[in-house]
Amino acid sequence: MKKAIISGAGSYVPSTIMTNQDLEQLMDTSHEWIATRTGIHERRVIDSTENTSDLALKASLAALEDAGLQPMDIDLIIVATETPDHMFPPVATKLQSLLGCRTVGAFDVHSTCVGFISALQIAEQYIKIGKANHILVVGADALSKIVDYTDRSTAILFADGAGAFVVSGADQAESEGIIDSTIHSDGQFYEDLYVEGGSSRERDNSDYTIPKIKMNGNKIFKLAVNAMSNNVKELLVRNDVQYEEIDWLIPHQANQRIIDAVARNVEFPQQKVISNIKYFGNNSAATIPLAFTMARKEGKVKKGDRIVLTAFGGGLIWGSLLFQY
């Protein structure tokens, strides 16, 4: 049985910056409120002519280059997204064609901000059973397309971006690779964070509207802190790994106060927690690979480091993944 390693990583964010001051012009808010309550100072937003597949393509090309691979080397493509260009077909098939890959398998994963972790979990299984040797795993979202810019409690948080890993097969004896992961859900909170409009349910009710994110922010905040804290503990305990043996915690970038609370709960020192929310906001499935590649560029994350990824999102879904880079 093969082991799944991260052989390449890349990311991409659109060049347009939307600052808190820009938002002050659109709604009743202030830079001070947003920065204090969320840690976000600015976020990237996509051009109106671009779509999620454009973000995914640029991140994928960067990841392939990093892995030293060509598109023809890829055996499977998995894209995690909540904002596909179309309700169907998947972004992954468009990406397959844009990249010029062979007619390999390609599908999307729809599990909110946990999507990138879910996609890595699936990729790991394909590698383990020998069904693929190089898998492109992408987290890409253009949440600005479904943000309601009249709703100050959500519009300030969400953003656009993409990140990608190449997951490859390696010998079991390798020290690097995915070690373990978890996934949980609790659908009783289904309507505390969801997209209203643009769906089959609204269509049935003759109530079809443009999709908009709806969120019970305060409730989600508390659930997120508990879910991620307990989940990181669960993952480390069951692998008999001590916190001191982990080099970096890379949490989903939803709110700096959530990141700080999780770090406190799991007793991770601040300097071992990766955060870039100040500049990029919450771009859902893209936050984790984006934070990873930025931290690597800054010289923080290095080959051989032990890393815990953790995320939560609408559903609710939450999950974590432990790997050695």
Applying CB under 6 A, among 21, 97, 150, 218 the residue interacting with ligand ACO is 218
- Between 132 and 286, name the residue whose CB sits nearer to ligand ACO: 286
| Cβ at position 266, least distance to ligand ACO in Å | 18
> Six-digit token pair at 153?
């409690």
Q: Does 39 bind ligand ACO (CB under 6 A)?
A: no
Q: Is 14 helix (H, G, I), strand (E, B) or coil?
A: coil
> Six-digit token pair at 227?
């879910």
Q: Which residues of 5-21 are buried (b: 16+ CB within 10 A; e: fewer)?
A: bbbbbbbbbbeeebebe
Number of DSSP helices (H) and strands (E) in the chain, helices first: 11, 13
Q: Does 221 bind ligand ACO (CB under 6 A)?
A: yes
Question: DSSP E strands: which ranges in 120-232?
Answer: 134-142, 160-170, 177-185, 193-196, 212-215
Applying CB under 6 A, among 7, 20, 38, 310 the residue interacting with ligand ACO is 38
Binding to ligand ACO, residues 222-251 (CB under 6 A)? 224
Window of 4-12, 92-100, 183-191, 220-228 that interacts with ligand ACO by CB under 6 A: 220-228
* Amino acid (one-letter) located at 75: D
Q: Does 193 bind ligand ACO (CB under 6 A)?
A: yes
Q: Does 33 bind ligand ACO (CB under 6 A)?
A: yes
Long-range contact set of residues 212-218: C-beta below 8 Å, sequence gap at least 24 = 212/146, 212/147, 212/148, 212/151, 213/143, 213/146, 213/147, 213/148, 213/151, 213/154, 213/158, 214/154, 215/153, 215/154, 216/192, 217/153, 217/154
Applying CB under 6 A, among 56, 79, 156, 246 the residue interacting with ligand ACO is 156
Q: Does 314 bind ligand ACO (CB under 6 A)?
A: yes
| Cβ at position 117, least distance to ligand ACO in Å | 12
Tell me the per-residue interface mask from 83 to 112 with ligand ACO, x by CB under 6 A, - otherwise: -----------------------------x
Q: Does 153 bind ligand ACO (CB under 6 A)?
A: yes
- Between 194 and 208, name the residue whose CB sits nearer to ligand ACO: 194
Q: Does 183 bind ligand ACO (CB under 6 A)?
A: no
From residue 92, give the alpha-carbon distance in Å to each of 54, 57, 71, 128.
Answer: 11, 10, 13, 22
Element spanning 189, H or E: none
Q: Does 197 bind ligand ACO (CB under 6 A)?
A: no
Task: Give 308's contacts (C-beta < 8 A, 6+ positions apart).
Answer: 232, 235, 236, 246, 248, 249, 250, 320, 321, 322
Cite the active site residues. Answer: 113, 252, 282
Tell me the per-residue interface mask from 250 to 289 with ligand ACO, x by CB under 6 A, - otherwise: ----xx--x-----------------------x-x-----
Give the footprint of ligand ACO on this chain (CB under 6 A): 29, 33-34, 37-38, 112-113, 152-153, 156, 193, 215, 217-218, 220-221, 224, 254-255, 258, 282, 284, 313-314
